[in-house]
Amino acid sequence: MNTMPEDRKVILITGTSKGIGLYLAQHYISKGFQVIGCSRNSVDFSDSLYTHICADISEEQDILEIYKFIRKDIKRLDVLINNAAINPAIVSAALLPYETISQTFRTNVFAPMLFCREAVKLMTRNKFGRIINMGSMASKHEVPGEALYTSTKTALNAYSRVLAKEVAKAGITVNVIAPSAIKTELSGKINPMALQEVLSRNAIAEYGEMNDVSNIIDVLIKEESSAITGQIIYLGGV
């Protein structure tokens, strides 16, 4: 039986088994949100406010199952954070295999689009919704070797700005948060010297912190933030 109080906000976060996603899940649990998280792998924590779903988000059917669960058992969705992303190959664009391109787009672009599509359907019921798509400073810096990852994040920027215009009337906002480099498994794959060079182009030439990300998301998901939409917010002075 679902004993969730009616006023408890529900947040869906993708990629909660590690990195920023894991941090955000725990952050919003601590703030009293009902958090639904998903990732390929299970998580090593549990909480009465947390539900984890193992899913391969590059498969549409897995995403539909997540929403089936939300529609049937939770019955509402207030916030979606599309956090999960992969960066499997930091290599010259001239050497990218087709399957790597395809898989990266399925995870970084198609999946967030499907999560948004289904979220909008749920959010319109309550005439309220907040969608956060995670971007990257790579979209601004255009770093050699990052053509694939950068193009997925730039596609997500464009998608988010158009979606924001489509759903504004339904009380739904859509924004992109593009953090500076944060020490995670994903950023660990990048050559530290190259990363330092890219960071040196920012106003703040240092790694960002997890709470930089949660701080701005806290603001964007407030009910009062209804006028902030279609924005790509770069952290770190990119």
Partner 1 sequence: MDVLELIYEVIDELNLDLGPSEQLKKDENSVIFGPESTLDSMGLVNLITLIEQRIEEKTGNFIAIADERAMSMQESPFKTVKTLKEYIEVLLNEYNA
Interface residues with partner 1 (CB under 8 A)?
64, 68, 71, 120-121, 124-125, 166-167, 169-170
Please say whether the beta carbons of 38 and 14 come within 8 A.
yes
Residues 6 or more apart whose CB falls under 8 angstroms from that of 177 comprise 132, 133, 134, 135, 213, 216, 217, 220, 233, 235
Residue nearer to partner 1 on the CB measure, 109 or 114: 114
Residue nearer to partner 1 on the CB measure, 66 or 181: 66
Half-sphere exposure of 178 (CA within 13 A, CB side): 21
Handedness of CA 159, 110, 104, 211 (dihedral sign): positive
Q: In whole angstroms, how close is the CB of 213 to partner 1 at the nearest point? A: 29
Show the tokens assigned to 181.
Answer: 């480099």
Q: In whole angstroms, how close is the CB of 219 to partner 1 at the nearest point? A: 25
Q: In whole angstroms, how close is the CB of 189 to partner 1 at the nearest point? A: 35
Residue nearer to partner 1 on the CB measure, 71 or 161: 71
Residue nearer to partner 1 on the CB measure, 147 or 163: 163
Residue nearer to partner 1 on the CB measure, 64 or 204: 64
Residue with tokens 């969730």: 4
d(CA 81, CA 133): 6
| H/E element, 233 | strand 232-234
Q: In whole angstroms, how close is the CB of 237 to partner 1 at the nearest point? A: 36
Q: In whole angstroms, how close is the CB of 57 to partner 1 at the nearest point? A: 17
Pick the closest to residue 214 from 84, 113, 81, 120 (CA basis): 81
